[in-house]
Amino acid sequence: MAQAYMTETGNGGAEPGPSGSGLRRRLAELRHDRGIWRRGIVTAALAALVSLVMIFHAELPNDIGNLGSLTETFLPWLGLSVPLLLVAAVVRKSATALIAILLTTAVWVNLFGGLITDKSAGGGNLMVATHNVDADNPDPRGTAASVAKSGADVLALTELAGDAVPVYEKALADTYKYHAVEGTVGVWSKYPLTSSKPVDIRLGWTRAMRTTAATPFGEIGVYVAHLPSVRVKLNAGFTANQRDNSADALGAALASEGLKKVVLLGDLNGTMNDRSLSEVTSQMRSTQGAAGHGFGFSWPAQFPMARIDQIMVRGIKPEASWTLPRTGSDHLPVAARLTVRP
């Protein structure tokens, strides 16, 4: 058996064969390589910077180009830096960089690892969905048919073009007996709707509404909102002041809501990480964060990069949350299954 692992040398002695010898030799070289700790300092510094941004993102200033909100919108994508930095660390044979990257990985997993797992559960007695249908949607009829097939009991549509509203009303009439439209947003429901009215989000025109859904499990306050869009400009950064003002107004409306059971549906043009939506997110619970599977990115539909279409609840238990198949819109519809206790 020994001959399988030993080879004869020219002087009659034996030396280790190929099996394991190369690895041992490399490890020995690394142990004696003092530069292993000095190389890759730049890579290690970049990894440390990514870690600090993820940990202290709330401290990034919004005074200059809304840098903080911009970073928070795409915060999970910082994880893509890990494999790139890892390649650099291996090429440089840097132990310092590898340790720094390991710490960066740990920070990312701590922040977002819970979103990767499937947190959905069975049960639920109410299904809701929301969809920014896109004012320029070339196929409103097909979009309506697609979301109606979702099985949602309550459906919210935003960015309704005036001339498209009759199309949606006709296409959804067989599935939803009740509906209410205010400005460019609307609710379609299998249960009666009452007290429908616009919600002022400081825009000068109606892009938010409130209604009461009389479900078998009690009355639910249903809010639908389409907050103003944000823009990324080279000379101005992340321009979101109008969106932020509208978010504050929406938060105030939610705070004054008299019903204990509340659902918020719509396109908030921001993620749950965005501090500028705190007046809303501090009061409501995200169904995706509580019962989703994956990040649930909803925009842009061609290659979703951010969850800006939200379903949020208060006084209601989320059971599952997911995205629906793509329609003619530039957003994906999102849905959630909820348990509403009488």
Query: Is residue 13 over pLDDT 50?
Result: no
Distance between CA atoms of residues 119 and 304, nearest Å: 20
- Hey, which residues does 323 pair with through a beta bridge? 334
Residues 37-51, mean pLDDT to the nearest whole number: 94
17: pLDDT strictly greater than 50: no
Q: Identify which has the larger pLDDT, 2 or 254.
A: 254
Q: Does residue 289 form part of some domain?
A: yes
User: Are 212 and 144 members of one domain?
Assistant: yes
Residue 158 phi/psi, 5° resolution? Answer: -125, 165
Helix (H, G, I), strand (E, B), or coil: what is residue 152?
Answer: coil
| Average per-residue pLDDT for the chain | 90
Do 136 and 277 belong to one domain? yes
pLDDT over 90 (residue 66): no
Last residue of one domain, picked from the residues 116, 145, 164: 116
> Among 68, 94, 116, where does a domain finish?
116
Which residues are 233's β-sheet partners? Answer: 237
Cβ atoms < 10 Å from Cβ of 289 = 19
Structure-derived torsion over alpha carbons of residues 151, 153, 157, 162, reported in degrees to the nearest 10: 100
Whether residue 263 is found in the same domain as residue 297: yes
69 and 150 both lie in a single domain: no
* Residue 88: strand pairing partners: none
The answer to whether 311 and 335 are in contact (CB under 8 A) is yes
User: Domain range spanning residue 112?
Assistant: 33-116
d(CA 312, CA 336): 9
Do residue 152 and residue 274 come from a single domain? yes
Together in a domain, 92 and 221? no
Would 24 be classed as within a structural domain? no
pLDDT band at 198 (very low <50, low <70, confident <90, very high): very high
Same domain, 144 and 256: yes
Question: How does DSSP assign 109-121, residue by residue?
Answer: HHHHHHHHSB---
What pLDDT digit, counting tens, does each position of 93-103 carry?
Answer: 899 999 999 99
What letter would DSSP give residue 125? S
Last residue of some domain: 116, 141, 168?
116
Q: How many domains does the chain have?
A: 2
Contact indicator for 295, 96 with CB cutoff of 8 Å: no
Measure the CA–CA gap between 127 and 150, rounded to whole angstroms.
9
Report the pLDDT value the prediction gives residue 11, as an integer from 0 to 100.
46
Q: Do 329 and 295 sit in the same domain of this protein?
A: yes
